[in-house]
Structure formats: C-alpha cells, structure tokens
C-alpha cells in the first residue's frame, strides 16, 4: 500500500505490532492501533495532556479495526493519524543515556558535597547526623527530584513554558527560577576562579602558601608543625595558607567591607574570563556538546577523590579525623538545628527548584525510565557526600597530629575556607605536594563546571522553549549574551571585597527564594494540577503509576518539609560573618531585597495573567488554574486522519 504523505508507515499482514516513527520534517506519525500496556489517555480522545497522541486505541471502533488488522481479515480498515508540526524544529535529544545520567550527577555533585556535608555532619553529631539526613532524603529530597524529572520528561519543556500545561497562573515560578540561576552564576563561578588561581600557582616546586617569605606575608605568619621545634603557635599566629588565601588571592585586607569594595582584581578577572570561555564552548551547541564534556568533568572528580582518600588514609593521625567525623552524639538529635541542617543540605545537594532537572529530562525519550534515573542519581549524590567526608577528615586528622592540636580546632572554618586554607595547607605539607595540589584544584574546577553547565542550560532551555521563534535559530548568540551578562554581573565578586559579596549572595539571594519557589511548585503540581493526573502522566510514560508513598510525599510531606525550612529561616535569620567582618544590619536588608527580587515574579505574573485574561473574574480564575489545551499555544500541530482499505 502506498500513500502520498511524508514518512508513512508500511505494514504487512500478520501479527506484528506497529512502531512509532518520528518524521525528520517535524511531523509525528502515530498508528493509533498500537495498544501499549499501562497507557491511558488523559486529555480527551486521541491525545494525552502533554499534547502528544496516545498510542492506545482511541475508540472502540478503532480498537476493533486494529484487532481485525492483526488478524489479517480481508477488507479490514485501519486508521493512521499524522501530526505535522511545520513551524518548529524537532527537539534535541541526548546522544546517549549516559550523557544524561552524567550530566545530572555532575549537576547534583558540586562543591557543597566536598566541604559542606562533612562540616555539617561533624557539627551536628557526626554519625548521628546520618539518621536525619537519610530521613530528609527519603521523604523530601528524592520525591522532589523524581517529580521534576517526570515533569520535564513528560511535557518536554523548560521551567517557564511548562506551566501552561500544569497551572498557567504559576508561570511566574519559571521566571523566578531563571533570575535565581543568574544570581548563582554571579558568585558560584568566582569560587572556580579562585581555584584556577590556586591551580596556576601550583606549578612550582615549592607551593607559595607553604612559606612566610612572600611579599604578602605579615609578621604574624607562622609555619607551625610538630617538626618545627623552635616555633610556637600563639593567638595572633596566622598560617601561610590563610595569608595566601586572604591577602594574595582575595586581597580582602584592602576592603573595609561591603560599603567599600575596592578595585577589581585583574588576576581573578582573567581567571573568571577563562572559566566562562570554557563554559560557553561547552554549552553553546546544546546537550549534544555538553553531554560529551561531562564524560570528563563528571568522572574525573571521582578519580581524584579516590586518590586523595587513599593518600589521606595513609597519613599519620588520619584515624583521629575519621573518629571525629563519625563519632555519634545522639543528644544532638533532640535539637531543631540538626533537622533543619539535614533538610537544607539534602535540598541544596540534590538541587530541585533550579529548573535544571526539568531541562535535562526534557531532552529524554518519552518512555525513558526517569524513576530509575531519580533513584540512581540521588543515591550517587548522597554516597559522594559521605565519601567526601572521609577525604576531608582524614586530612584534618593529619593536620591535628602535625600541629599537636584537637581536630575541632583545626576544622573550625566552614565554607570554601576549609578547602582553600586547611586542605591546601595539608596538601602543601605532604610528599609530592605539587602533584596533589594540581589534581585537587583541578577537581574543584570540574565540580564547579558541571553545576555551571547545568544551571545555565536550565535558563537556556526555558527561554528557548518560551520564545522559540525568536531564539531557536540564534542559540549560539543567546548563549554568548547570557555568558556575558553573567560575567559582568560577577565583576562585583572580583573586587577586593568580593568575598563579602559572595557570602551575601550565598546566604540571602538564592537559598530562601528557591525554597519558597519549590514550595509553590509542589503545591501547583499536587493540589492544582492534581496528583491523580500527574500519576496518570507518569503511568503513560513508564507503564506504571507512582505508588502511595510518592503520592503522600508530593501532597503532604514535601510541602511540610519545605515549610519547615522556610519557617526556621525566617524565625532564626543567620548571623552572617566572614573572617573578622560582621555583616551590618543594612546588608541583611539588602540581602532580603535581592532574594525578593526573584520571588516577586510569582505574584506579579499572577496579577498580570488575571488582568489580561478575558471574561468575568470567576472565568479568569478558572482559566488561570486550568491547563491549556494542547495546540492552543506554542507548537501548532495539524492532524490528518487517513482511512484506507487493505
């Protein structure tokens, strides 16, 4: 049988099932006589709620026709549905499944896994902290992770345009996510610029943060180890690693505070320019290129962690750090702080709410098992955090042994200081210090690059899906403009007081805003779009529906989990301090204003949508919370139904 339509499907009589084929000319051909187990239509005859046709029989008549056709009955009829999208290019997909998995793992495993988890773990009871951490992961982090992967894969949209398929009035969530991602790009890449500065400084026989004879050192610089019998450590002593970090890399001593940041450090500006150049040429072509880059950037850190773990375990005093890291203090579990830290750590570690998981999953095949992906990648993330603790604390135990101090005295600094001061100093005092310094800071850069690729890809996918006719054919130029905006926005973090700006963004601009945004996202999906409808969507993709556990988590536990974090932050705002600088009150107000500047998109768009929608107020409200019908906006599909006698 021959038909004059593009990409028609020929089928011989017999018992073979028809297969779905996508036309290379933006068409979609579906033989509606294919019955797939577990699939149900959710949005009316012939289509599911994401706009794609169902592959199950669309009516009893069609179903009967399909059955007759399989039985090779002479004169039977079969119906072919051809859907053509003539305006939009076909959506890009991952070259391999591993490209997607490594990209998600690279996004979830970042710098926070290396320094934040070990520090918070020992600060909140050591081994006892693992209990609230695992509970928060199972009931809060992983369900949110799974939900975002499923949403992105089913609707094949970024974090902005996806809301017309879920609950249009919440579209402001997508814009808020994009602004938060920009704020993160303003300061997160600066940490990689610091690491690059360290990396370039490591190519010498004697590491510059080992001695006190450099031009940036002060009279208080003290190189104190147990082998230095004539050196004594006082309350005014400063290690050479700390002075290198503060006075040479950051040059914080040249800025009195946020009210006077000082000039831009040209060395850090060049380092950051190199970082953004690598970022641009890794993501400018889409997931086809970034999916190849992550084979290096996502796997190399694990090789380095393994090398550092073996080296750390062989150092004298390593056991002291491990005992301090894991020694349970069960009394800590009775305090609210431990549970809050566990919830915040698992949330920011897995990273739902940044639009990245939706963007990555939107490039998957429709029937990809995102449930298995969510379990695998989240498990890898948590295990990496646990492994990093051994890498860090074996070295801290070694430092305590060399300094003849307690481990808690050596590990008093949290944040990047733990990596750039304590760990850097420990490396400098090891044999083959140059080699270990190079691979360590190279690992830090690659951990950061993965997260930057992902964060910017979330913004790019969202904007390209929302404005396809304007940006789809200009991706390279749009990415270039986005990278330039991020670089210019990061200049304030490259000044002499840039470290103060980094801390301000980290504490106020992103954390509270993104948690609030994810809370609204869960409410919109579970209560407005409906858990039943969402589970039907998942069943259509995977062939099985989420169980009762996942439904309860999405409807009740996850919202409570997020409200707990938000309420605790508002009730107990953190006292922000960096080095000897205590942030004044006006900086707290400034930080909240920056955070609100992204979240304000949500209520602003709600008002805009209600005002621009036609009809009475009740009609506007109902339309605002009702998913738009497929084809009402965005991609227009022409459906042609052809019936032929066999």
Annotated binding site for Na(+): 106, 108-109, 113, 349, 381, 447, 450-451
* 641 three-class SS: strand
Give the torsion through C-alpha atoms of 483, 484, 488, 494, to 10 deg.
60
Q: In terms of DSSP H, where are the helices of 351-369? A: 356-361
Query: What strand order describes the sheet that includes 27-31?
Result: 21-22, 27-31, 77-84, 638-645
Distance (Å) of CA 489 to CA 152, 448, 458, 474: 29, 18, 18, 23
Give DSSP secondary structure letters for 485-532.
Answer: HHHHHTGGGGBTTHHHHHHHIIIIIIHHHHHHHHHHHHHIIIIIIIHH
Q: Are 453 and 352 in contact (CB under 8 A)?
A: no
- Reduced to 3 states (helix: H, G, I; strand: E, B; else coil), residue 30 is strand
Residue 539 is inside which H or E element, if any? helix 531-542
**Distance between CA atoms of residues 387 and 102, nearest Å:** 18
275 C-beta neighbours (distance < 10 Å), count = 23
| β-bridge partners, 238 | 221
H/E run at residue 84: strand 77-84
303 by Cβ neighbours in 10 Å (0-12 / 13-18 / 19+) ranks as exposed
SS (H, E, C) 604-637: HHHHHHHHHCCCCHHHHHHHHCCCCCCCCCCCCC
CA distance 153 to 97: 13
Alpha-carbon torsion (455, 456, 457, 460), positive or negative: positive
Token pair for 8: 């028609």
- Strand, helix or coil at 414? coil
What are the φ/ψ torsions at residue 47 (nearest 5 degrees)? Answer: -140, 155
Could you write out the DSSP letters of every residue in 432-491?
A: THHHHHHHHHHHHHHHHHHHHHHHHHHHHHHHHHHSHHHHGGGHHHHHHHHHHHHHHHTG
Residue 373: half-sphere exposure toward Cβ, Cα within 13 Å: 27
Burial of 515 (0-12, 13-18, 19+ CB in 10 A): buried
> How far apart (Å, rounded) are the C-alpha atoms in residues 634 and 628?
10
What is the rounded CA–CA span in Å between residue 607 and residue 611? 6
The Cα–Cα gap between 287 and 306 comes to 28
Q: Is 260 helix (H, G, I), strand (E, B) or coil?
A: strand
- Residue count of the chain, please give it: 646
Whether the Cβ atoms of residue 423 and residue 440 lie closer than 8 Å to each other: yes
The beta-strand segments (E) located in 228-342 are none
What's the rounded Cα separation, in Å, for the pair 332 and 381? Answer: 24
Q: What is the DSSP letter of 53?
A: B
Burial string for 169-179 (b: 16+ CB within 10 Å, else e) reads bbbbbbbbbbb
- Residue list for the binding site: 106, 108-109, 113, 349, 381, 447, 450-451
């Amino acid at each position: 049988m021959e038909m004059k339509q593009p990409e028609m499907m020929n089928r011989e009589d017999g018992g073979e099932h028809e297969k779905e084929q996508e036309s290379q000319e933006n068409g979609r051909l579906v033989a509606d006589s294919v019955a797939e187990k577990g699939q149900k239509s959710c949005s009316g005859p012939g289509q599911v709620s994401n706009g794609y046709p169902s592959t199950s029989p669309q009516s009893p008549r069609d179903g009967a026709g399909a059955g007759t056709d399989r039985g090779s009955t002479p004169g039977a009829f079969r119906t072919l549905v051809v859907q053509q999208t003539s305006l939009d290019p076909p959506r890009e997909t991952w070259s391999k499944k591993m490209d997607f998995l490594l990209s998600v793992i690279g996004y979830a495993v970042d710098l926070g896994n290396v320094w934040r988890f070990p520090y918070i773990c020992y600060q909140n009871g050591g081994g006892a902290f693992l209990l609230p951490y695992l509970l928060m992961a199972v009931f809060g982090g992983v369900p949110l992770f799974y939900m975002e992967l499923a949403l992105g894969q089913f609707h094949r949209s970024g974090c902005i345009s996806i809301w017309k398929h879920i609950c249009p009035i919440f579209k402001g969530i997508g814009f808020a996510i994009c602004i938060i991602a920009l704020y993160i790009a303003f300061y997160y890449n600066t940490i990689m610029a610091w690491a690059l500065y360290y990396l370039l400084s490591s190519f010498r026989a004697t590491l510059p943060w080992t001695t006190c004879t450099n031009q940036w050192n002060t009279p208080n610089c003290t190189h104190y180890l147990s082998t230095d019998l004539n050196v004594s450590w006082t309350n005014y002593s400063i290690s050479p690693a700390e002075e290198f970090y503060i006075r040479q890399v950051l040059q914080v001593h040249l800025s009195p505070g946020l009210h006077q940041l000082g000039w831009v450090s040209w060395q850090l500006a060049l380092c950051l320019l190199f970082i953004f150049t690598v970022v641009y040429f890794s993501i400018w072509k889409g997931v086809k290129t970034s999916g190849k880059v992550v084979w290096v950037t996502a796997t190399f850190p694990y090789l380095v962690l393994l090398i550092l773990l073996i080296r750390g375990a062989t150092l004298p005093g390593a056991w002291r750090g491990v005992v301090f890291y894991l020694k349970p203090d069960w009394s800590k579990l009775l305090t609210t702080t431990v549970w809050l830290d566990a919830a915040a750590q698992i949330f920011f570690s897995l990273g739902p709410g940044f639009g990245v998981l939706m963007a990555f999953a939107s490039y998957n095949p429709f029937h990809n098992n995102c449930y298995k992906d969510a379990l695998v990648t989240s498990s890898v993330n948590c295990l990496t955090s646990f492994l990093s603790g051994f890498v860090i604390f074996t070295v801290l135990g070694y430092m305590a042994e060399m300094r003849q101090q307690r481990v808690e005295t050596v590990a008093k600094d949290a944040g990047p200081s733990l990596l750039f001061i304590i760990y850097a100093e420990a490396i400098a005092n090891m044999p083959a210090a140059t080699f270990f310094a190079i691979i360590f800071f190279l690992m830090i850069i690659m951990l950061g690059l993965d997260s930057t690729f992902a964060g910017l890809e979330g913004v790019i996918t969202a904007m390209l899906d929302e404005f396809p006719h304007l940006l789809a054919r200009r991706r390279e130029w749009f990415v270039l403009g986005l990278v330039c905006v991020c670089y210019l926005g990061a200049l304030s973090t490259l000044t002499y007081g840039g470290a103060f700006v980094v801390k301000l963004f980290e504490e106020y601009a992103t954390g509270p805003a993104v948690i609030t945004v994810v809370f609204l996202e869960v409410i919109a999906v579970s209560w407005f779009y409906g858990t039943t409808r969402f589970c039907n969507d998942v069943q259509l993709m995977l062939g099985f529906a989420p169980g009762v556990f996942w439904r309860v988590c999405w409807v009740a536990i996850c919202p409570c989990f997020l409200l707990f974090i938000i309420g605790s932050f508002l009730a107990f705002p953190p006292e922000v301090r960096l080095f000897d600088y205590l942030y004044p009150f006006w900086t707290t107000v400034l930080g909240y204003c920056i955070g609100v500047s992204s979240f304000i998109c949500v209520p602003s768009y709600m008002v805009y949508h209600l005002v621009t929608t036609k009809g009475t107020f009740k009609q506007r409200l109902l339309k605002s919370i009702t998913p738009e019908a497929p084809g009402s906006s965005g991609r227009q599909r022409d459906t042609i139904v052809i019936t032929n006698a066999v």
